[in-house]
């Protein structure tokens, strides 16, 4: 488990003035990673680190000679077109780079002039998916989400008997994961309308969102060698925002007996910025289970996981309709919750994923599953917020939404904030629905 060190000092200020602004996502205590280049340029994508409204270009830093030793080697790894090489290193290397950049970006640093030349304004940047994602596994870690969904289909027995014992997950599609700003066409597929005797084919009518966090795997494990829960977080590089778009009507027809397929594989959107576990250290909280619930089996349990294995990450969903966009209106908040309500931790997910000998690799992505809180206004999916489509959401401009319509944009935001610690933000994760393209035939 990462402990507090000098990089977390809330009194630290940066010579990058925007990093000291109240409410910024990217103070000097954060320093998250992304892959970027200047907009509309022929530049190669390369790794960067956020500081205020600027990006520290790791390729430029690697060439500058400002960093030495382990930090310099880590910067060189992060200067590539994807972060996989950096992710493949270890916690020592990640911490060394974070510490060196923290010191170089602080007020009074002797390296200010050298690093000033390595800055690129975020307003001039475009981003790519942070890693070359070999595999994507989506979990189901919110008890509240599982219960809300279960009530709609099994009112007398909403939770399946294995839920409180095993972290449920399924393997998703890595090729359709896109970075914030992703635009995707409404999916098409088979659905079974109520009362029909045979399925119909066409555009999805019940397009939904799923408010999630994405966990990027760092150093991997060999095939056949499980990762003990005491070492699990050493294999986690960091966390991003994730929207796992879902076609609920397609899902309802196809998911039995093997689970999600076309209802989930058409698009998944991640935020460009990956926040390291070290940056999140001030926001660790105890992992607890409701009284009377079974405690995790021994391989999913440790003293450290119980004492500080959860994170208090605030999460918010915004919805912007085409009419709102045309009127210059910002997205409207439709959900606010916290990751602290999750039923399984990051360490438990990774440990369970490898307990059968499955080999994870640097850049693999784990989705947390929809992160709903204990009340319906904290639900992270429209299927919950509208009770299966029965109660439309009222938006501030008078519009309503039951399911997403063409042109709608969803904006996920995440941040950590409390007295005595610096605010740590994740930026935004934005995706927009385009009209379906129905195959001829």
Q: Is residue 197 classed exposed, middle or buried when 0-12, 13-18 and 19+ CB atoms within 10 A define those classes?
A: exposed
Catalytic residue among 144, 145, 341, 352: 145
Chain centre distance of CA 394 = 27
Query: CA 19 to CA 44: how far, in whole Å?
Result: 26
Catalytic residue check, 145: yes
Token output for 97: 């780079």
Distance CA 393, CA 382 (A): 9
The residue among 310, 354, 339, 312 whose CA lies nearest residue 137 is 354
**Distances from the Cα of 425 to the Cαs of 48, 164, 365, 375, in angstroms?**
16, 31, 20, 24
Q: How far is CA 129 from CA 58, 182, 363, in A?
A: 16, 10, 10
Dihedral sign from CA coordinates of 277, 278, 284, 287: positive
Which helix (H) or strand (E) is 75 found in, with range?
helix 69-78
In order, the DSSP letters of 287-336 are ----TTSPPPPGGG--HHHHHH-EE--EEEEEEE-HHHHHTTPPPEEEEE
Residue 412, classed as helix, strand or coil, is strand
For the annotated catalytic residues, the residue numbers are: 145
């Amino acid at each position: 488990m990462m402990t507090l060190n000098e990089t977390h000092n809330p009194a630290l200020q940066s010579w990058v003035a925007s990093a000291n602004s109240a409410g910024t996502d990217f103070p000097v205590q954060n320093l998250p990673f992304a892959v970027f280049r200047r907009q509309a340029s022929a530049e190669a994508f390369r790794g960067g680190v956020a500081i205020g409204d600027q990006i520290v270009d790791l390729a430029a830093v690697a060439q500058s000679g400002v960093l030495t030793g382990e930090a310099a080697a880590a910067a060189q790894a992060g200067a590539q077109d994807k972060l996989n090489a950096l992710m493949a290193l270890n916690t020592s290397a990640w911490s060394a780079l974070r510490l060196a950049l923290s010191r170089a970006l602080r007020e009074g640093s002797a390296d200010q002039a050298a690093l000033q030349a390595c800055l690129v304004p975020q307003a001039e940047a475009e981003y790519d998916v942070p890693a070359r994602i070999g595999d994507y596994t989506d979990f189901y870690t919110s008890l509240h989400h599982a219960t809300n969904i279960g009530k709609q289909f099994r009112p007398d027995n909403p939770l399946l008997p294995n839920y409180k014992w095993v972290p449920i997950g399924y393997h998703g599609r890595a090729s359709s994961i896109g970075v914030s700003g992703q635009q995707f066409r409404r999916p098409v597929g088979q659905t079974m309308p109520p009362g029909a005797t045979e399925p119909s084919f066409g555009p999805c009518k019940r397009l939904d969102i799923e408010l999630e966090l994405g966990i990027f795997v760092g150093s991997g494990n060999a095939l056949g060698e499980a990762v003990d829960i005491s070492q699990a977080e050493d294999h986690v590089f960091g966390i991003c925002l994730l929207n796992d778009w879902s076609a609920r009507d397609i899902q309802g027809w196809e998911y039995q007996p093997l689970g999600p397929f076309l209802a989930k594989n058409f698009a998944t959107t991640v935020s460009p910025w990956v926040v390291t576990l070290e940056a999140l250290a001030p926001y660790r909280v105890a992992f607890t289970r409701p009284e009377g619930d079974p405690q995790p089996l021994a391989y999913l349990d440790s003293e450290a996981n119980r004492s500080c294995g959860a994170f208090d990450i605030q999460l918010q969903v915004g919805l912007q309709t085409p009419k709102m966009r045309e009127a210059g209106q910002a997205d409207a908040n439709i959900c606010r919750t916290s990751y602290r309500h999750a039923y399984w931790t990051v360490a438990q997910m990774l440990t369970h994923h490898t307990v059968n000998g499955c080999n994870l690799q640097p850049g693999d992505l784990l989705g947390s599953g929809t992160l709903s809180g204990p009340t319906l206004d904290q639900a992270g999916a429209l299927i919950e917020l509208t009770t299966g489509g029965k109660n439309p959401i009222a938006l501030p401009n008078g519009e309503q939404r039951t399911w997403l319509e063409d042109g709608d944009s969803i904006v996920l935001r995440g941040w950590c904030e409390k007295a005595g610690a610096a605010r740590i933000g994740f930026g935004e994760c934005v995706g927009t629905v385009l009209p379906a393209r129905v195959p001829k035939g």
